[in-house]
Amino acid sequence: MASYASYYGGGFPNQGFGHSSWDYNVLKNMRKISPAVQSHLKKVYLSLSCALVAAAIGVYLHLLLNIGGLLTGLACIGSVIWLLSVPTYSNNEGKRATLLLAAAAFKGATLGPLIDAVIDIDPSILVSAFVGTSLAFACFSAAAITARRREYLFLGGLLASGVSILMWLQLASAIFGGSSAIYTFEIYFGLLVFLGYIIFDTQMIIEKADHGDYDYLKHSLDLFIDFVAVFVRLVVIMAKNSDSKSREGKKKRRA
């Protein structure tokens, strides 16, 4: 399963995580978010849904045509850079939306080899990982939206440090050779980091929109990156566990 590593991925408040009072009325409380920001969030999540569909199409195209690899990875990066470089004028909205969908499709094709390998192990892993990612994404996004304003923005520094740790570990593994323990740490620690980014990015989107930044395509790109990062790590974890159980079963049958 170590070969899967080449396919994945990216001041304290007075009250901490466990101090908020949660009930049904809290979930309905959107008074701190203006109608304009609420409308912006709807556009962000709609664009995110379209991007996920485009990524699924990219995966399907790889399964049919075997197109995923380095070139689609570079094309994904190029599409993202192009998207971010296009001015956010209203007459550029269609072009930028097309670039977002293209980047998502290329990302899906790039993940195609991983998906193909997991299908050979157990196709149900993909369904479980997607459902698990969707539930986690919904819960963490809801926590960020219904929390006090800026409550989780302090996570930015911690998460950036976490990403730096992952990058240095991958660089060290590439130079000196990795180990199973380091690989496992990278997977689980990376999962924790990107779950945190779901909360952080959601609150950042709210704050940016509240200050007049309504670039919903860029904001949906941020959440798309978080979603894919969590999904891929869940797939790797589940596939690794399934592969280990399969090997243990074969050993027992031989014994």
7 is a domain residue: no
24 is a domain residue: no
Helices (H), 68-215: 70-85, 93-110, 112-121, 124-146, 155-176, 180-210
225 is a domain residue: yes
What is the residue whose two structure tokens read 């997607």?
130
Q: What is the dihedral of CA 146, 150, 152, 157, to 10 degrees?
A: 160
Between 13 and 1, the more confident residue is 1
Instruction: Say what the pLDDT of residue 22 is.
Output: 36
List pLDDT tens digits, range 165-210.
Answer: 989 888 888 787 777 888 888 899 999 999 999 999 999 999 999 8
Instruction: Say what the pLDDT of residue 180 is.
Output: 82
4 is a domain residue: no
Output phi, psi for 107, to 5 deg.
-65, -40
List pLDDT tens digits, range 245-254.
Answer: 766 666 666 6
List pLDDT tens digits, range 63-94.
Answer: 999 999 999 999 999 999 999 999 988 788 99
Instruction: Say what the pLDDT of residue 5 is.
Output: 41
**Where in the sequence is the domain holding 110, given as residue range(s)?**
31-247
254 is a domain residue: no
Question: Are 105 and 63 in contact, with CB atoms under 8 Å apart?
Answer: no
Question: How many domains in the chain?
Answer: 1
H or E stretch at 151: none
Instruction: Say what the pLDDT of residue 177 is.
Output: 76
6 is a domain residue: no
Residue 237, Cβ neighbours under 10 Å: how many?
19
26 is a domain residue: no
Cβ contacts of 237 within 8 Å, gap of 6 or more: 187, 188, 191
pTM of the complete model: 0.82
Query: Which of 104-113, 185-194, 238-247 is the most confident on average?
Result: 104-113
Q: What angle do CA 222, 83, 138 make, to 5 degrees?
A: 20
Residues 186, 7: Cα–Cα separation, whole Å? 13
229 is a domain residue: yes
Amino acid present at 127: V
